[in-house]
Structure formats: structure tokens, C-alpha cells
Homo-oligomer: A and B are copies of this chain.
Amino acid sequence: MRIIATIKDVAKLAGVSVATVSRVLNKEANVLPQTKLRVQDAIAKLHYSPNLLGRNLRQGATKKILVLLNTISNPFYSQVVRGIEECAAKEHYSVMLCMTHGDPVLEQQSITLLQTKLVDGAVFLSAEQEGTALTEACRGIPVVQACEPRDGFLAASVSIDNKKAAYDAISYLIQNGHKQIAFFGASDTLSSSICRKDGYLQALSDYELTPNPDWIIEEGFSINAGVRAAKRLISCKELPDAVFCISDSCAIGAIRTLVEAGISVPGDISVMGFDNAEISKAFLPAVTTVQQPRYEIGYKAASLLLDAMRGEENRAVKITLPHEIIERNSVEKHT
């Protein structure tokens, strides 16, 4: 049986009224010092904690912000979340994470935390429902999007230009002598999936190269997705001379699968990743990739959320941070 002290127990032990205990808890001035000490002593003896559900109800702020993300298994997110945490901490907000696992129902459950004021605001690192549904669900609630802005979701956003970043990656491959370029992407509705594929197709088109449809393989962002995509590629009649992957995890799964099949990377096929995750630098060969300023994306998103929570109307703000090609050892240079 759990025995939890109530404010009445504290009042009884201290020999004062409940109203007096309440005044001490709320740090009001009109309490005699010796009474205050008696109440504090009773609180300590009984291990009493004020029920903050009631307290928040009166004061209207929880000092908590929620971060919604697809999964913590994608190493991309940890630095974004760190940026959010460090910005939020400046104003004494702490951060809680909820995962959606690609499920709109789980997303909606988390939005309920916002609607019912259990948290003060949220940063969406991914979005599962349609933009208009999200706009409706988050009406009157401070929210911000980061990394994966969803079309039609009326909330400030911070991200890189995913289409331009993919375009630049393909241009880099082409400028280093590659013309037969495959794309390992994802068939979900995340903006990064859609925009990076658009950038790939646009770059090929601008360089007057025709994409081979067999080489557009959409298995997802994970290491295992890269393994599956590479297996499908290996079974094609013709092989490309380079592969652009939607994430570093995907690139690593692809490289290990190609190498296991006796295909040298980058000797036979060059492989390029995306994100500049920690593992892309550690992998053998180290993976040439596109860096996103992950910490800065998170920090800026939290900063916009703090503005929104102070009542600033910033839902139309769209911030694009710069990306950068990181040259390592997984792309052959034919110059």
C-alpha cells in the first residue's frame, strides 16, 4: 500500500491551517518565520510533495516542452535534441521526448498532451498526419517544426534545403566523373524523402543524364534498408558507378553489402551518404556525405518555440540553414 502525505497531513502535524501551509508553499510573505519553519519541518518529515497537477492548473505553465520524433534509433536526431535541450534550458524549460514510430495514432496521443496543457509547447521533428490536420489539432498551441517541415502544417520551421542539398551531392558526384548514379531513398511522406529524390532527379536532368528506374530503390533510412537496397541493386542487369543514399546509416548498410558481394567501394562503385552522422566518419571507408547543422537546427527551433510561447506570432517563419559536402573516402574521383 502506498501512503502519500496530503496537505492536510502537513497542516495537522505543523498545527496550522491548510491555508497557512498553502501560503508557505506559494512563498507568500504573510507567514511568521517560526510558523514557516514548523510547516517546512512537517513537509520534510512527511516527504510531502505538492501535487503539481493542481499547481499547474492554477499557474498555467508546466515549464516542459515536448519533442515528437519518429524514432530514437536514427542517430541523426540526438544532436538536434541536444540543441533543443540547451536552448530550452536557458529559460528553465526541460524537454520530454515522445516517439511516433510512423504512426499517426501515436502522434495524435502526443498532441493530446499539448491540447490538455500537460506540456507548454512542442517541436515536431517528424510529422505523420496531413499538414492541415496538424494545423487543426495544434490550433492555439505553440508548435514549431524542425528537420522535416510538412506542407500545409502552419507552424514555424527550421531545416536545411533538402532538395538543394541532394542536388549539390549529385553535382559533386557528376563533377568527379560519375554519370551512372543510383538513388537509395525512402518511400514515406517525409519532406526529406521527397525533396532529396527531387534534388537527385533535377540534377540528373540539368546535366542531361537519364535516370535508370531500376536504380531508384526506396527501402528507407536504416542500416538494414541500405542492406536491402544494395541487394536489389546487385541483382540488376547493369550496375551504376555511384550510389547516392538518403542517410549515412543507409550508406553504411549499402557499402558493407556491396563489399561482401566482392564489389569494391569506392573502386567499383562510389557511395555517398547524407547527415554526417558520427558513424560516417568512423566507418571504413569513411563516408563522403552531406552535413546538416543538426545542433543549430534544434537550437533555433527551440528559440522559435520560446518566442511562440511568449505570444509572438511566428507561424509563417521558415528558416533554412546551410548544408555542406564533407569529402571523405567512399567516392572515387575521376578528374
* A binding-site residues for B, Cβ under 8 Å: 1-4, 47, 49-57, 62, 66, 71-73, 75, 77-79, 81-82, 85, 94-99, 101, 106, 109-110, 112, 115-118, 136, 139-140, 142, 222-224, 227, 252-253, 255-256, 259, 278-279, 282-284, 286, 311
Give this chain's copy count: 2
Neighbouring B residues of A56 by C-beta, 8 Å: 53, 118
Neighbouring B residues of A279 by C-beta, 8 Å: 223, 252, 279
Neighbouring B residues of A278 by C-beta, 8 Å: 73, 222-224
Q: How far is the CA of A160 from the CA of B20 in the complex (A)?
A: 50
Neighbouring B residues of A95 by C-beta, 8 Å: 98-99
Neighbouring B residues of A222 by C-beta, 8 Å: 278
Closest to A313 in B: B1
Q: Are B140 and A2 in contact (CB under 8 A)?
A: yes
Partner of A256, one of B47, B96, B284: B284
Q: How far in angstroms is the closest Cβ of chain B from A120?
A: 11
Closest to A256 in B: B282
Neighbouring B residues of A54 by C-beta, 8 Å: 53-54, 57
Q: How far is the CA of A224 from the CA of B62 in the complex (A)?
A: 36
Q: How far in angstroms is the closest Cβ of chain B from A117?
A: 5
Q: How far is the CA of A224 from the CA of B279 in the complex (A)?
A: 10
Q: How far is the CA of A49 from the CA of B117 in the complex (A)?
A: 9
Q: How far in angstroms is the closest Cβ of chain B from A102?
A: 13
Q: Are A78 and B85 in contact (CB under 8 A)?
A: no
Q: How far in angstroms is the closest Cβ of chain B from A140?
A: 5
Partner of A94, one of B73, B79, B106: B106
Q: Are B223 and A282 in contact (CB under 8 A)?
A: yes
Closest to A75 in B: B75
Given contacts A78-B72, A118-B52, A284-B284, contact A140 B47 (CB under 8 A): yes
Q: How far in angstroms is the closest Cβ of chain B from A107?
A: 11
Q: Are B51 and A57 in contact (CB under 8 A)?
A: yes
Q: How far is the CA of A167 from the CA of B97 in the complex (A)?
A: 36
Q: How far in angstroms is the closest Cβ of chain B from A83?
A: 13
Q: Are A47 and B94 in contact (CB under 8 A)?
A: no
Closest to A286 in B: B256
Neighbouring B residues of A98 by C-beta, 8 Å: 94-97
Given contacts A140-B4, A279-B223, A284-B284, contact A115 B57 (CB under 8 A): no
Q: How far is the CA of A222 from the CA of B281 in the complex (A)?
A: 13
Neighbouring B residues of A55 by C-beta, 8 Å: 116
Q: How far is the CA of A71 from the CA of B50 in the complex (A)?
A: 29
Q: Are B97 and A97 in contact (CB under 8 A)?
A: yes
Q: How far is the CA of A114 from the CA of B51 in the complex (A)?
A: 10
Q: How far is the CA of A147 from the CA of B227 in the complex (A)?
A: 29
Neighbouring B residues of A223 by C-beta, 8 Å: 278-279, 282
Closest to A59 in B: B53
Partner of A115, one of B49, B81, B109, B252: B49
